[in-house]
Chain A
Amino acid sequence: MIQLLNPLKLQPKGIPASPAPFSEQARTMKFTYGTGERPLAGYSIKRGVGIGGFGEVYFALNDAGKEVALKRIQRNLDVEVRGVRQCLNLKHPNLIALFDIQFDAHEQGWIVMEYVSGSNLRDLLERYPTGLPMDQLCHWFGQIVAGVTYLHDHGVVHRDLKPANVFEDQGIVKIGDYGLSKYISCSRRGGQTESVGTFHYMAPEIGKGEYGKEIDVYALGIMLYEMATGNVPFDGESTQEIVMKHLTADPDLSRVSWPVREVVARALQKDPTARYRDAREMVRPLGLEIDQRYMVTTTSNSNLPPVVSPVAAVANGPSPLNAAAVAALQGNHHAAGSEKITGEQESLHYEEPIAEALRSSWTRVAQWWREMPLHPGSRAMLVAIGIIALVLKSAVLIQIFVTGLMIYVPYYIVWCFVSSSRSGRAATPTVKPGVHKQMARPFVAPQQAQVARPVSAPVAPKAPFKPLSVRQWKAAKRRQLGLVSTTNSLADVTGGWFTSSIVLAVFCSLVAVFQIGTGHAGQAQLISIAWTAIVSMICAWSVIALGKRWQSSEGDWAVRSFIQVTVGLGIGWLAYVLSDFLAVGWSSSSGPEWQSQFASESAPTRRWPGFFDAQGQPLLPAFLAYFPLMMGLVHWWKQVDPLRRTQFSLLSVIWSVIAAWLVHLLIPFPLPWGAVVAAGTSVAVQLASPWLDPEERHQLDPARSIG
């Protein structure tokens, strides 16, 4: 049997009771009582707070000085009083408390309840017309869901959830107006004859008289959408239009970012059975949890500020991996109680010293680079200067690298034999490198390890929500990227083209300046630089367009490389046409090494007599051979992938140059212009391509993200 509870309607301070969600709908407020009047014995009215469909609400003081809100019940007295009695003893910090029901001398009913002095969510949304920041969103939404979950678990459906019914007082979010609620019945879900509430938040099945918990879930979905975007998903000029949209239209989810999107998508299903069955499930994707005491707590991938130490947080997890993490954090390896772990620790001791020194040096340099207080533009300029220097001295550097490799590889083989005999077993045959990393550093980062922080109430240590691994996160992101509209993709591509052109202009200007500085800036060199800039731009544009096309899936590298080779043919042809048009003098613009190649009978260029003329000028076949190989050898799509590890990777640039050099060894191309094209393309595409939300990466499970 469904029982209608009392409609207790507390209007927000300063906001009239309006059926519309937007407070700009001015409404005249005429209160029956003024300051100082005492319609109810023991209470002195101070001012009117608001007027709802079910009565006036006043701010008042009782004779002892206690601040209360008084609601004068103006209609359906018996029904409302009966309903409020059912709710009088509900106790939850996220619900406005009901104190008493009293009657004045005229038998007029008054509800005495908690006075909330803070603003409401509607006010806040008006201050953030494009949506709340994520921390604010989590703060409000988590506590709202905590209160709604409490109501649902006590058999009450709110039925009129909306921002104007949600307040904040002293940092605690409180839901009002739950007097409109109904008891949930197992046998029947309808029975209410009067449809009240706000159309913008009204679930489609309300028109059929169904009032299950699902209508609150739906309203929460609408509120979440509004908190994320600043607008309700279904709006219109008339009530009929809004209702029709609720019944038939799909929300525009492209305006909502992950993970809010998945919550909204499921909460706003037209079919009530397809929505969340339990309101508390709605906060889990946001890194929140409603615990057994109906308090909202944060989980490991939450944006909310942490308070619990990493050790304590990890200690909550019973897994051996977590136990090992605790031991690692405490510096007590024996506490982990695992022989395997001890063995892994020992194997660290035998790590190859040169590699370890190089790695630690690289780490320190990388850290210094990250922490250096430089503007991104200055960084880019420094990188460009470094790359130019590298490219111009690439021949010497590669010789050093190859020599070093020739010395190191035999040494490493000997070292492996020696170290295995010292340790009595192979160095690390049974231990994966990933586990090494796990044990070598405190892999539970402080922020990630924070759990069990109640937002509004006592601590409840609990971390049931598993954060995403890198692979899962990438899969989810790729699905999202697949949903990006063609128009937006086109805008991204053109934006990338524009940015890459600017980057290349700067890059090639620096090359020109460098040439001038070294006294090699003849006409031939400057024409070569112009050719390099334009060809690099063509390469960058091609890479950006292909990368955008491929960003929604991991793809097969072989297929992609083949397509790049094909595109490289076109680039080669354009490069040749441009070279011919500009009349680039390769012999005079290239270094003495290139010119000397033609003097010797054993020169590499002599292997490809059809590729070069007698003066060393590359012909069309040379272009058509060099550029496809350069394009095919480098996985360019990874450099423009929005999910790449870092926005700009120096290693990627170096690898691009090395690849160009390797191609040069096979198909000689005038130095250093082939390598400069590769370097310029790499720098430009990385700086010009979007890179997705690094904050989300910090929320990943570090233990699962390794490897």
Chain B
Amino acid sequence: MTMRERFYALAGAALEDDERVAIVLAAIGAGAIPEHPRLYDVGIREQLMIGVAAGLALEGYRPVAHSYATFLIERPWEQIKLDLSHNDLGAVLVSNGASYDDSRSGRTHHAPEDVALLATLPGWRIEVPGHPDELERSFARALRGNDRVYIRTSLEENPAPVPDDGLVVLRRASRPGPLVLAVGPTLAPTLSATADLDVDLAYLTTVRPFPRIELRTALAGRDEVALVEPYLAGTSAAEVGAALADRRHRVLAIGIENPELRRYGTPGEHRAAHGLDARGIRARLERFLG
């Protein structure tokens, strides 16, 4: 079961178990969640989807809105900025599609910019799970709160979940050296890319608020960070810079550098073209490490 499918199952259960929860859809996902009085499919109207979520939040509900990342975050951008953020209303936005999941659908269904865009707004919690179990933890936590949460699901996932939240150090090098920080589903190729490299390896799913203090703790005085993010390259580079502003440091930001790839094909071909497969990550790391 993919993260997206797990989300649909969890959303249906949440409607039954928690009378605070309301789901707002804009056609996408409508057939995947059983009908319920608090499941509202507004049709292909994404601006309305966010507005309705805001209105439900005004009345004390915990609205969950869902669509492709591009139709959830980018098309109704001003509704997210004003109806939710400026009005100080909480909601849970859960996307599918990620950067190139629907590779054959082309650019119109790809959203490598979504996290960078949403990160311009203060107060959003942005979660990039790398496994359906992590998605389940993120979604359960989001439903309990009243804040603004974005959960980005992907068809790309790691073979096993990481059981802990926050910035998790998975492996320590034999001697002090660079820290490779993999976000969400980039962990699997990053593990392969670094299998025989003597580097620290850490994992992160909650990218906003960025764990600046945890990063400093994990670095333990060292000054080299290689970020591996499954969306626009550099999305979290400024956060790393802010965390290490008091000392000289080096940052490598691996991610998508050319959103206008203009290719179809498979997700694997896109991953390789963006240098986000193990081979591409390895090549960037070798150049960075010298």
Whether chains A and B associate is: no
